Chain A
Amino acid sequence: MISIVLIAPILFALILLFIKNNKLNNILPVIYAILHSCLGLCYFIKPDFIGNIQHFSLNSSNIIFYIVLSIVYFAVSIYNIGYSKNLKDNFTPKKMMHYSCMILIFVLSMTGGILSNNLGLAWIFIEATTLASAYLIYFNKTKHSIEAAWKYVFICSIGIALAFVGIILLTIATETVNSLNYADLIENASLFNRFWLNVSFVFILVGIGTKMGLAPVHFWLPDAHAEAPSPISALLSATLLNCAFLVILNVYKVMISANCLAYARTLLLVMGFLSLFVASVFLFHSKNYKRMLAYSSIENMGILAIATSLGGVAYYALIIHLIGHSLIKASFFLTGGNILELFETKRIKSVKSLILIDKKTSWLWIGSFLGICAFPPSILFISEFLIVKTFLIQKHYILCALFLFLLTIILYAMAKVVLKMVYGEKSQEKFEIAQSNLSKINYLMYIPQALMLVLAFVLGVYIPKVIDLTIMSTIIG
């Protein structure tokens, strides 16, 4: 099954390239999304069908990341059916075909990154995500999108090159072990040269951290997320950042096995808090709602880094935060896409009285905001509560206060924007434009977000035993 999941997008992309049928542009990505989800289901129902191969496996350490990718991609591919109807008005069928092809290749590279059990291979797939997604960020071909895509490719390429230096240094640290397989690395970690291991972790953290959007190497992220088409922004934020994080998490496990934990923890904690700080400062002065969502992603990546560094109960919080953030942020970006279709602007000032124009989009916007700001029963409430609890258990009172303070600023900044956009006093000109664009929003542009939000809120109240066990196995694995 793994082989099928890895080969199918290439086949589908070739079919799209050669057959050139407009209907297939929407159908094939959805078929691939179903196929993708089937592999995730196999893990629970028929593990024999997974068919792990030499460098790729679906196991306890990557299953959650894979399922999150499946769900978000499925939702995005459904949303895309509605969204691409509007795109078709502005772009040629050839360009639409390129759009679908690159989405398939982008998802393939993320899937490869998640499934690979070898650090070198994971690095190659992370680099492949840059190649595939750069085209999608540049899709609108405006001056701004070329700037965003250039910054994205250039900064991420330098970051990934630095991560590659880290991998070379890691091979020096491994001394007699000539493998980059995670299992081999973890098994033999106690024999590694600690000096080189520590140096390699710095390079890998900074390099892959660039892709993950951790401050201070996050500069590409707000531009790329804001300029990409909304379904692509959702994929970038809810799945790509997770793929990069998985690599860091796996190298962190090597650091734990090599007893170099204190060093790695400090680095993650510093980058985590720096991300929260940067996000809080820029969110407070948001002028563009898509950039606001991008900074919120930086904030949440910071929270993941902090949870990783804390350990203990925070590991559980880490996994559920990852699930919650992906579901809610994807919903937020897709709903942002609806607003962009209605108002034809990303400026916060120009979007007012959304509730009078489109109630469904308004409630999705508010629901996403409540979810991302961890209002109970959002699943993020549990994760952030557990992180605070871990801070207190470990007696890091000042850090705990700082964490809560920064989160409060972010909550205030986002609440201010969201409420203004939904209930603010209407401007007649913009109101008329939005009214005239209402027909562009069809039901397929509401359902995916609604389902993801429901899932995020239901998981906040009740986590089924099978998911709970999977989360636990991810932590141990």
Chain B
Amino acid sequence: MASGLIILFGLTMLYLSTTSRLMAHIRTLAFQGVLLFFICTLDFANHPWYIGVFLGIETLLVKAILVPLFLGKVIKKTRSTRDDDANIAHFYCLLISSVILFGGFMLSVVEIPSLALINPICFGIALSTIIISLWLITIKHNVLSNVIEFITMENGIFLLSLSVAKEMPVLVNIGVLLDVFIAIYILGLFVSQINKELGDMEVSHLSELKDCE
């Protein structure tokens, strides 16, 4: 069951890499949050009860509800609906993301003694999610897209922490939560300001600071 949800989580990254509609990105983020909640719930036995409750609240409340709601408001406020100017066409985006995801699957079936302490499928998908997110950040031109991909990267890191088959120090869980807050902070403070200052959300407008004149 958990493996099925993890694979579904990986497939959401393929959807993210092929769509340019920002609302679709946000719905995918919310869906990822719900998936992470269920993955956490199934993994509940591996954690003390208070960590389990903390992770449940964090995934369902913060990742699945609050962050997507907040992002939706920003999109309405900035009237930015699409990110059409990616450096690479959607077909190639899908192809490259699929290759990365396939690499993650392959990693999960290879038997390496060093991987004994981790859940291979969770680890492989988490790693490919992080790589796909980082890659999408480099090819997308919209500030909001960049923030959304940053949050999917955080989701990948969260999945990575779940892949470790041992009790994680509490600080690691706090760290995951803090990362979500920094994403909200980036949104709250900068996205609206950038829109106000530049009139749109194009990243290429943020390139005036140079060493040459």
Contact = CB atoms under 8 A, between A and B. Distances in A.
B190 A180 contact: no
Given A144-B209, A157-B186, A171 B179 contact: no
A330 B169 CA distance: 37
Interface stretch (B20-28, B73-81, B154-162): B154-162
A280 to B, nearest CB: 13
Contacts of B212: 285, 287
Contacts of A154: 146, 150, 186
A144 B130 contact: no
Interface in B159-202: 160-161, 164, 166-169, 171-172, 174-176, 178-179, 182-183, 185-186, 189-190, 193-194, 197-198
Interface string A93-130: 00000000000000000000000001011011001001
B148 interface: no
A171 B168 contact: yes
Given A171-B168, A171-B172, A150 B114 contact: no
A175 B115 CA distance: 11
B172 A167 contact: yes
Given A135-B189, A148-B209, A157-B186, A178 B157 contact: no
A158 B118 contact: no
B194 A195 contact: no
Nearest to A131: B185
B109 interface: no
B190 A150 contact: yes
A124 B174 contact: yes
B117 interface: yes
B186 A286 contact: no
A172 B209 contact: no
B134 interface: yes
Interface in A161-194: 161, 164-165, 167-168, 171-172, 175, 178-180, 193
B211 interface: yes
Contact of B161 (A130, A150, A168, A195): A168
B111 interface: no
B137 interface: yes
Given A144-B208, A287-B212, A172 B118 contact: yes
A180 B169 contact: yes
B14 to A, nearest CB: 22
A146 interface: yes
Interface in B111-126: 114, 117-118
B206 interface: yes
A174 B206 CA distance: 42
A222 B209 CA distance: 9
B197 A127 contact: no
A158 B58 CA distance: 20
B34 interface: no
A196 interface: yes
Nearest to B211: A282
B105 to A, nearest CB: 19
A143 interface: yes
Contacts of B132: none
A227 B209 contact: yes
Contacts of A138: 189-190, 193
A438 B3 CA distance: 69
A158 B134 contact: yes
Contacts of B193: 138, 146
B206 A147 contact: yes
Contacts of B186: 153-154, 157
Contact of B197 (A120, A143, A180, A291): A143
A223 interface: yes
B90 to A, nearest CB: 24
B139 to A, nearest CB: 15
A121 B171 contact: yes
Contacts of A293: none
Interface string A342-362: 000000000000000000000
B153 interface: yes
A124 B138 CA distance: 26
Contacts of B160: 165, 168
A28 interface: no
A293 to B, nearest CB: 13
A118 B174 CA distance: 13
A109 to B, nearest CB: 12
A101 to B, nearest CB: 15
Given A175-B117, A180-B169, A226 B209 contact: yes
Interface of A: 118, 120-121, 123-124, 127, 130-131, 134-135, 138, 143-144, 146-151, 153-154, 157-158, 160-161, 164-165, 167-168, 171-172, 175, 178-180, 193, 195-196, 222-223, 226-227, 282, 285-288, 291
22 contacts: A123-B175, A134-B185, A134-B189, A144-B209, A146-B193, A146-B206, A150-B190, A151-B209, A157-B150, A157-B179, A157-B183, A158-B150, A158-B153, A164-B175, A168-B161, A168-B172, A175-B166, A178-B167, A178-B169, A180-B172, A226-B209, A227-B209
Interface pairs A-B: 10 shortest CB-CB: A120-B171, A147-B206, A223-B209, A195-B114, A168-B161, A287-B213, A180-B169, A150-B190, A157-B182, A168-B160
